[in-house]
Amino acid sequence: MTENRNEEIVKLFEKASSWEEKYKILIQEGKKLPALKEEWRVDDNLVRGCQSRVWIHAEKKPDGKIYFYADSDALITKGLVALLVQLYSGLKPDEILKIDPIFIQKLDIQKNLTPSRANGFYNMVKKIKYYALAFQAQESLTQ
């Protein structure tokens, strides 16, 4: 199931023949993100090491799945975080920790990101996996 999520993201871009088209798709994906609640725009949810401001909030539901909510003040970055929300949201902590965002290599996106934006992307992934680890640790304490 989780491997298919990377493939679904790759399929979003299959009709794009140029980088301009890929950037347009990224921006469109970012615009699909629901508005982030103001109370989630806090320092704890900020992704460190990003050139632009990126917030990622996580909630664990009673079924054990984690849902991510995100926003950014930069269009391309917002698109990147939207793809990560699609990849990881609705999975259990152990699933999140096992899956890597291989779509970024398959689409050659990282080659066309500035070094600071590529670093920011990996910091977003780290933050998501950090949330998964924290929820997993919380589960083990309550069992």
36-41 contact pairs (CB < 8 A, 24+): 36/69, 36/70, 36/71, 37/69, 40/69, 41/71
State the Cα–Cα distance between residues 130 and 65, nearest whole angstrom. 15
Residue with tokens 């069992």: 143
- Give yes or no: 22 in active site: no
- Three-class SS string for 42-86? CHHHECCCCCCCEEEEEEECCCCCEEEEEEECCHHHHHHHHHHHH
Please identify which of the residues 50, 56, 83, 85 carries the catalytic annotation. Answer: 50
Give the other-Cβ count within 10 Å of 62's Cβ.
Answer: 5
125 CB burial (10 A radius; 0-12, 13-18, 19+)? buried
> Catalytic residue positions?
50
